Every structure is written in structure tokens, then in C-alpha cells.
Amino acid sequence: MEKTVAAELQFDFVVDKEKHTITVKREFAAGRQLVWDCHTKRELLDRWFAPKPLTTKTSHMEFKPGGYWHYAMITPDGQAFWSRLDYQAIHPIDSYAALDGFCDEAGIVNPDMPRARWDVAFTDAKERTLVTTVVLYNSAGDVQKAIDMGLKDGLASTLERLDELLLEMGETA
């Protein structure tokens, strides 16, 4: 039963190389307030944000313009990948805009790495909620830097295993 419902939920992942954007659209079988809460409260974010088998750990969260979320995605063997999301604009429960960034355990952003802007919108879709995330890089060169970094930092190989796992489960078709 669960599987059937999940299969019907819309999931789009579109890369626009010319505009250097990634657009992710996904439906959720829940009301907008609850989906919004899951994106904006640390205790809820910690329960879903990292892809399996990683887990999420929040170090700091201040959800307001000028505030930021500092968190790690942690592998089963304890390796932590730190990131932060700096909130720029918030319109509850419609949308928020933020700047992502690679950082260290202290929250210091790596200045050599590109930062992408996230525009996340929440809209009603009958009894469901549609979440649209547009990740915008400043240039094609910035995307290339993110790719190069991804290959170096070890998260890529973790994700690659995940990719294979999803393929086996038939989820990426």
C-alpha cells in the first residue's frame, strides 16, 4: 500500500546547463504547514535531510533572514560532511531563499567553493504539497567547481553507492 502511494508522488529533477540551475519538484502526501515545518525546524530536519545511510546533525539553526542552519551529514563510519544554509528571505509558509555553502565543523565557509542560491517554494496540490527547489549557480564554471569538489571530498563515492542502490530498487527510472 505504502509503495503504491509513494510511486504516485511526482518527482522531477531537471538540469539546465545553460542557466546553470537544477530544479527539483516533489509532491508530498501531507499538508503545507507540516511540510514547511519539516523544512524549517532543526529537530525535524535532523530526521530526514541526509540521504540514507547518512544521518543529519544540526549544530546551529536560526530560521530567520540573516540566520543560518549549520549541519553535518554523517556516514555510518562517522565521517562528517559539514554545510550551511544562510537564509536570505522567508515567506511562511510559501517560500524561502537561502545560500548554501561547504564549511567546516566551526561553520566557517570554504571561500574556494562556489555557493549556490536555493529558492524553495511550497504550493498546495489538492490534499498534497508540491515543493519546488531551484538551485542556481552563478556560472557554468561554478557548477564545474562543485563537480570537481564532489569527486574529491568522498561524498561522491557515498552517493554513487546510493545511486546504485536506488537503481536496484527501480527508483531512478
Helix (H) or strand (E) holding 29: none
Q: Is 143 near another protein (CB under 8 A)?
A: yes
Contact present, 143 and 127 (Cβ < 8 Å): no
The residue from 1, 4, 17, 66 that contacts another protein (CB under 8 A) is: 17
User: Facing residues of 97 across strands?
Assistant: 89, 119
The residue from 21, 32, 35, 60 that contacts another protein (CB under 8 A) is: 35
Task: Label residue 5 exposed, middle or buried (CB < 10 Å: 0-12, 13-18, 19+).
Answer: exposed
Q: Which is nearer to another protein, 9 or 108 (CB)?
A: 9
Give every CB contact of residue 34 below 8 A, 6+ residues apart in sequence. Answer: 129
Helix (H) or strand (E) holding 114: none
Question: In the stretch 46-85, what mask flags binding to another protein with x, by CB under 8 A?
Answer: -xxxxxx---------------------------------
Binding site for another protein (CB under 8 A): 2, 6, 9, 11, 13, 15, 17-18, 22, 24, 26, 28-30, 34-35, 38, 44, 47-52, 133, 140-141, 143-144, 146-148, 150-151, 156, 159-160, 162-163, 166, 171-172
